[in-house]
Homo-oligomer: A and B are copies of this chain.
Amino acid sequence: MNKPVTAEIISIGDELLYGQILDTNSKWLSEEMDKIGVRVVRKTTIGDDPEAMIEAFKSASKKADIILMTGGLGPTKDDLTKNVLVDFFNSSMKLFPNALEDVRKFFESRGRELSPTNRSQAYLPSNCTYIQNAVGTAPGMWFEENGSAWMSMPGVPHEMKYLMENAVIPRIKEKYKLPVIYHKLIKTIGIGESWLSDIISDWEDQLPPHIRLAYLPSLGEVKLRLTGFGESLPPIVKEVDDQIAKLEPLIAKYIYGYNTDTIASALGHELIQRNENIAIAESCTGGYLSHVITSIPGASNYFNGSIIPYHNTYKEHLLGVSPETLASKGAVSEETVIEMSKQVRLKFNSTYGLATSGVAGPGGGSDEKPVGMVWIACHDGEKCWTRMLQLTKDRIINIQLTSTASLNLLRETILHNRK
C-alpha cells in the first residue's frame, strides 16, 4: 500500500476553547478529506494566541502533508491568524490588489460602501496564493512551504465550504496521488450497541485485517461503518459489499438504510415508491418531528402537513380529540395519541397519521406520568400501532428520541403492511 496522504485540521479561536460555539467545520472537513482518500490524522483546536498557533503549526508540519486551518481571519481586532502566518513563514504583509477589488465588488453588489475595517482584509502574507472568497470578505490563502500544503480559511462555515469546494479540493487532487479507501455505513434503528455487537460478534471476528468495523451510536440509532483499504477501488468495493451481504441476514429487521440515508430520507423514499403520504399531530415534540421530515428535499411529495395542538384546548377544538378522553385519560395516554393519529390522518387525507404526546420536562411530571413518559401512535386507517416510551429527564433529548422512535414506528407499520 502507498503511504497515505495525511492532513491535520487546525481550528483557531478563543470562542472554541471557551466552548461558546460548536465546531461543525472540522467535522465537515474530515468528511471531505475522507471522501477523496486523504487521511486526517489529528485535529487541533487552539485560541487566538500567537504562541499556541506557532507551536501548532510546527507540530502539524511534522505530522501532515496538508494543513487545513480555519478561523481568526475576520475583520475584527481579535483575529490574528494572518499576522502569525507572516511570522511563521518569515514573510511580510502586502496589499493584494485583486483581493481589494474582490472585496470592493462584494460590498458594491450589496449596495454598501467599503469600511476601513473591510479594506484591511486585502492585506495578505506575500508568500501566499490568494484564493477568492466569492461568498464573504475574508480571502483564502494557500501556501506551499516546508514540504506541506497549507490553507487558511475563514471560520464562517459557508465561506469555508465555498473555498474548499472551489479551490482547495481541486488543488489537493491535482497535487497528490491519493490512495484508495472505501467506506460503507449500515444504518440500524431500534437496537443498542452491545446487543448488536453480541449478535454480529462471529462475523466481526472473521473480517480480514484490511477491512475495519466501527460502531457509531447516536440517539436511538447505531451506525456500523465498514472501511476497506487497498490499491484500487473495484476489488475493495467487492470485498466490503460481500462482507455486508453476510452481515445483513443477521440484523435485517434493524437496517433502514446505508451511507447518507437518514431514517427520514429512507422513509421518504419508501413513501414515494408506495405513492403514500403522512400527516402528523405533535404535542411533546413541538414541531421537531415535522422538521426532521421536512429537512429532506422533496418532502412535499409525501408530507401533507401537521397540527401542533400544544395547548390542550386545541387537541379538542382543532384536532378533534374527544373531551371525554382528555378528561378521563389525560393528554399523555394511549387513548389520546390513538385519537390524535386518527384525526390528523383524516384532516390531511393521508395514508398514515403519526402522533406524539408526552412529558418532555423538565417540569410537568407527576408520580403517575413522570418526566420522560411519552406515548406515540401510527394509524394506517385500519389499525393503530402504539408504543409507550420511558425516556430521560432532558427535554431536548426526549424530543429527539421521541421523533426517532416515531419514525421507527412508521417504518415498522410500513414493513407490516408490505407483508
Q: Is the CB of A19 within 8 A of B23?
A: no
A211 to B32, CA, bound (A): 38
Q: Which of B214, B288, B303 makes the CB contact (< 8 A) with A78? A: B214
Q: Is the CB of A309 within 8 A of B305?
A: yes
A33: chain B residues at CB < 8 Å are: 19
A306 to B308, CA, bound (A): 5
Closest to A183 in B: B18
Q: Is the CB of B288 within 8 A of A74?
A: no
Chain A interface extent, by class: 35 or more
Closest to A205 in B: B77
The reply on A418 being an interface residue by CB < 8 A is no
A40 to B20, CA, bound (A): 12
Q: Which of B42, B310, B314 makes the CB contact (< 8 A) with A44? A: B42
A360: chain B residues at CB < 8 Å are: 294
Q: Is the CB of A20 within 8 A of B300?
A: no
6 A-B residue pairs with CB within 8 Å: A18-B31, A18-B183, A20-B216, A20-B225, A26-B45, A42-B52
Closest to A308 in B: B306
Contact with B along A181-207 (1 / 0, CB 8 A): 001010000000111011001001000
Q: Which of B19, B194, B286, B290 makes the CB contact (< 8 A) with A286? A: B290
Q: Is the CB of A294 within 8 A of B300?
A: no
Q: Is the CB of A286 within 8 A of B297?
A: no
The reply on A175 being an interface residue by CB < 8 A is no
A395 to B297, CA, bound (A): 8
Can you add 13 more A-B contacts, CB < 8 Å, to A59-B59, A297-B361, A311-B348?
Answer: A18-B31, A19-B26, A42-B56, A48-B214, A74-B193, A76-B197, A137-B194, A286-B303, A287-B294, A291-B399, A297-B362, A304-B311, A307-B308
Q: Is the CB of B363 within 8 A of A20?
A: no
Q: Is the CB of A14 within 8 A of B117?
A: no
A19 to B164, CA, bound (A): 15
The reply on A47 being an interface residue by CB < 8 A is yes
What is the count of identical protomers in the complex? 2
The reply on A323 being an interface residue by CB < 8 A is no
A395 to B16, CA, bound (A): 26
Q: Is the CB of B21 within 8 A of A27?
A: yes
Known: A158-B392, A193-B74, A286-B294. A17 touches B30 (CB 8 A): yes
A34 to B15, CA, bound (A): 11
A198 to B295, CA, bound (A): 36
Q: Is the CB of A295 within 8 A of B396?
A: yes
Most buried by B among A183, A309, A314: A314
A34: chain B residues at CB < 8 Å are: 18-19
> Within residues 83 to 126 of chain A, which ones have a CB less than 8 A from any CB in chain B?
115, 117-118
A305: chain B residues at CB < 8 Å are: 307-311, 314, 318
The reply on A327 being an interface residue by CB < 8 A is no
Contact with B along A35-59 (1 / 0, CB 8 A): 0000111111111100010001001
The reply on A342 being an interface residue by CB < 8 A is no
The reply on A75 being an interface residue by CB < 8 A is yes
A392: chain B residues at CB < 8 Å are: 158
Most buried by B among A75, A185, A311: A311
The reply on A276 being an interface residue by CB < 8 A is no
